Copies of this chain bind each other. A is one copy, B any other.
Amino acid sequence: MPGLGDVTRGRILFGGDYNPEQWPEETWHEDVRLMKDAGVNSVTLGVFSWATLEPRPGERDFGWLDRLMDLMHEHGIGVVLATPTSSPPPWLGHLHPDTLPVDQDGRTEWWGGRQHFSHSSAVYRRYAAAITEDLAARYGNHPALTMWHINNEYCTYDWGPEAAARFRRWLQDRYGTLAELNDAWGTAFWSQGYGDWAEVHTPRHAHYLKNPAQVLDFKRFTSDMLLECYVAERDIVRRHTPHLPVTSNFMPLWSGQDAWRWAEEEDVVSVDLYPDPRDPFGAQAGALVQDMTRSQARGPWMLMEQAAGPVNWRGVNHPKPRGLNRLWSLQAVARGADAVCYFQWRQSRQGAEKFHSGMVSHAGARGRTYQEVKRLGAELARISGEVTGSHTANDIAVLHDWHSWWAGAHEGRLSTQVDYAQVLTAWHRALWEAHLATDFAHPEHDLSAYRLVVVPQLYSLSDAAIDNLIAYTRQGGTLVSGFLTGITDEDDRVRPGGMDGRLRELFGIRTLHEWWPLDAGEEVECDGFRGTLWSEEIEKDEDATAEAVFKGGELDGLPAVLRKGRARYLATLPEADRLRALIAQFASEADIRPVLDRLPAGVEAVRRGDLLFVLNHSRESVTVEVPGTHHDLLTGTTVADELTLDRYGVAVLRP
């Protein structure tokens, strides 16, 4: 199968979404000149071109795109060609209102924004296939074409009637019979037993709490329907260009797609990444997504979109201070990216995103933004040869699963203060601050290569996943799990005892009497630290050890950190400093070392292949110990034992 390496061929891809429909053709020529100056070698075309390519149903207007493809080829810029199917033209919704999504309150999502398509609409899919077919036929052999980009940020839900019909078929495939569905959804409760498939709907507005298994299946169905849309278009372009890789860009840590499943269908895994420049943990938020994406790609991946400056969808949208765009771009490279791309090349003057930055901002070529982009392009070119294609194995895996996330998010859960993404982020932050390099893995993945497996929270676990965890520990692996793990099975059915029995045995939990969720901002005293979010009334097995207990209150003396052999269970979320110390201790016990020792605050060190990236995320100049002699690829200087980095400074060191 083709992959990212077939596109990069030793160069880091640098460029971004290019929407030239917005500009007169004379601007295209200025664009190409500025692209060349900035070292841009890849642009994504066509993401929002459907209405331009097909101005009326069935018509085609390819002339402008022909000229653009030729122009790019002429200047040696590769084209990632998008199918334009994420934003259908107004005529589609007008002629076929059934192609428009309907929300759970029954409101239609009209055109006038974007992504106003129903994943389940047969008419939408037919039109999407037709334009995809024609694009692939026309440009499949174009020498500028390097990769296909299917749709854009798949993210639509649909509760409407055609989606409901499709949901029924999906459920029939999953369950076979209504009896099985009734059993899996627990419809015996609240008199919800279905006697006819036609009675089954998407989980629309209801008087009170919705059936959790129905909601869970609806999320699975949504991810699957979007994937069907993707696969249908992928198969079309693949038929025309079997030698070219195909991707679709994920949104970072977005809840709507099972990206483990999706990644299997992609030749290149790509992601969009927009940490808030003001977020004091922005670098870690980026690192999390980068680690996740690299793990999905099992190798180099593509940063499809980032912003050269501010975005425009936060309440207050901050620009990137001088140097931050370079720093975060190189951080992505350090963590496996072989492509550093942006939305979008030239900032729009019109439309809903005209205040979202571009590589060329409103200030134009003399603006700081473009000037920094240009410098970055030159630096990426300098290091490309020694970076692309390389990959590094890590000793730690953090387990993550979308289905568990979905199941655990039901409105009728015990605490709305417990947010899966926040818990996952807290654990990753502890690892990141301890300078421990980590992968992500699915709970059913082969974990044998890892010395430490971290389960921040897997509320729902399949039997196979539980088998996998137990086998992993039996084979000598070190396991640590946060609370609310193993509560339900794949149907969101609570395991007997309130938590899977084999997991309880693994961790040394004799009886789980009660969960004691904490209020917002509440903390619970433990030995030497404070716990947040959660606590538990656990009776431990005799052969288990309470490494820390709750102090005072109703749970006084009960285990907060429980250990049995190489398996640990945390019945609370320790405050950040303590969680970092615990993780560092567990890693140390598993013979895992930080990337570098004695790193100053705010400095991150990442190994990629033979290279060592040292990144200063602070606004102060810092001196970093780097034992031995290295060559800094960016400056061309030699670094002996010590390195000084200015604010937002980066060194890429070769031993």
- Partner pick for A494 among B114, B207, B349, B537, CB 8 A cutoff: B349
A213 within 8 A of partner (CB): yes
Contact of A518 with B362 in the complex, beta carbons under 8 Å = no
A574 within 8 A of partner (CB): no
Residues of B contacting A105 in the complex (Cβ-Cβ under 8 angstroms): 105, 107
Contact of A190 with B114 in the complex, beta carbons under 8 Å = yes
A361 within 8 A of partner (CB): yes
- 0/1 string, A468-499, CB within 8 A of B gives 1: 00000000000000000000000111101110
Residues of B contacting A412 in the complex (Cβ-Cβ under 8 angstroms): 312-313, 352-356
Contact of B106 with A108 in the complex, beta carbons under 8 Å = yes
> Are A206 and B52 also in contact (CB < 8 A) when A190-B352, A195-B90, A352-B412 are?
no
Give chain B nearest CB distance to A319 CB in angstroms.
4
Contact of B317 with A415 in the complex, beta carbons under 8 Å = yes
Residues of B contacting A494 in the complex (Cβ-Cβ under 8 angstroms): 347-350, 354, 362
Q: Please give me the residue from chain B that is nearest to A315 by CB atom.
A: B416
Residues of B contacting A60 in the complex (Cβ-Cβ under 8 angstroms): none
Contact of B321 with A192 in the complex, beta carbons under 8 Å = no
How far is A319 from B518 in the complex, measured between Cα atoms in Å? 11
Residues of B contacting A366 in the complex (Cβ-Cβ under 8 angstroms): 511
- Partner pick for A321 among B22, B316, B554, CB 8 A cutoff: B554
A75 within 8 A of partner (CB): no
Q: Please give me the residue from chain B that is nearest to A512 by CB atom.
A: B363
How far is A415 from B312 in the complex, measured between Cα atoms in Å? 8
Residues of B contacting A33 in the complex (Cβ-Cβ under 8 angstroms): none
Give chain B nearest CB distance to A413 CB in angstroms.
6
Residues of B contacting A520 in the complex (Cβ-Cβ under 8 angstroms): 316
Contact of A201 with B513 in the complex, beta carbons under 8 Å = no
- 0/1 string, A50-61, CB within 8 A of B gives 1: 111001100000
Residues of B contacting A618 in the complex (Cβ-Cβ under 8 angstroms): none
Interface residues of A in 206-238 (CB under 8 A from B): 206-214
> Are A214 and B317 also in contact (CB < 8 A) when A355-B413, A514-B368 are?
no
Contact of A89 with B195 in the complex, beta carbons under 8 Å = yes
A450 within 8 A of partner (CB): no
Of A181-189, A378-386, A582-590, A592-600, the one with at least 4 CB within 8 A of chain B: A181-189
A610 within 8 A of partner (CB): no
A254 within 8 A of partner (CB): no
Give chain B nearest CB distance to A417 CB in angstroms.
6
Give chain B nearest CB distance to A45 CB in angstroms.
13
A198 within 8 A of partner (CB): yes
A87 within 8 A of partner (CB): yes
Contact of A209 with B492 in the complex, beta carbons under 8 Å = no
A156 within 8 A of partner (CB): yes
Contact of B205 with A109 in the complex, beta carbons under 8 Å = yes
- Partner pick for A52 among B193, B204, B321, CB 8 A cutoff: B193
- Partner pick for A51 among B49, B110, B192, B512, CB 8 A cutoff: B192
> Are A106 and B109 also in contact (CB < 8 A) when A351-B190, A512-B363 are?
no
Residues of B contacting A200 in the complex (Cβ-Cβ under 8 angstroms): 90
- 0/1 string, A99-128, CB within 8 A of B gives 1: 001000111111111111000000000000
Q: Please give me the residue from chain B that is nearest to A522 by CB atom.
A: B316
How far is A567 from B354 in the complex, measured between Cα atoms in Å? 28
A199 within 8 A of partner (CB): yes
Contact of A513 with B367 in the complex, beta carbons under 8 Å = yes
A67 within 8 A of partner (CB): no
Give chain B nearest CB distance to A424 CB in angstroms.
20
- Partner pick for A353 among B189, B368, B416, B417, CB 8 A cutoff: B189
> Are A318 and B517 also in contact (CB < 8 A) when A19-B189, A87-B190, A113-B190 are?
yes
- 0/1 string, A80-96, CB within 8 A of B gives 1: 00001001111101100
Contact of B318 with A211 in the complex, beta carbons under 8 Å = no
A306 within 8 A of partner (CB): no
Contact of A111 with B206 in the complex, beta carbons under 8 Å = yes
Residues of B contacting A109 in the complex (Cβ-Cβ under 8 angstroms): 205-207
Q: Please give me the residue from chain B that is nearest to A348 by CB atom.
A: B189
A369 within 8 A of partner (CB): yes
Interface residues of A in 333-362 (CB under 8 A from B): 347-356, 361-362
Contact of B212 with A352 in the complex, beta carbons under 8 Å = yes
Residues of B contacting A56 in the complex (Cβ-Cβ under 8 angstroms): 195
17 A-B residue contacts at CB 8 Å?
Answer: A21-B189, A22-B186, A48-B191, A51-B187, A88-B191, A89-B193, A109-B205, A111-B192, A113-B190, A189-B348, A312-B413, A315-B417, A317-B414, A318-B516, A347-B494, A353-B412, A355-B414
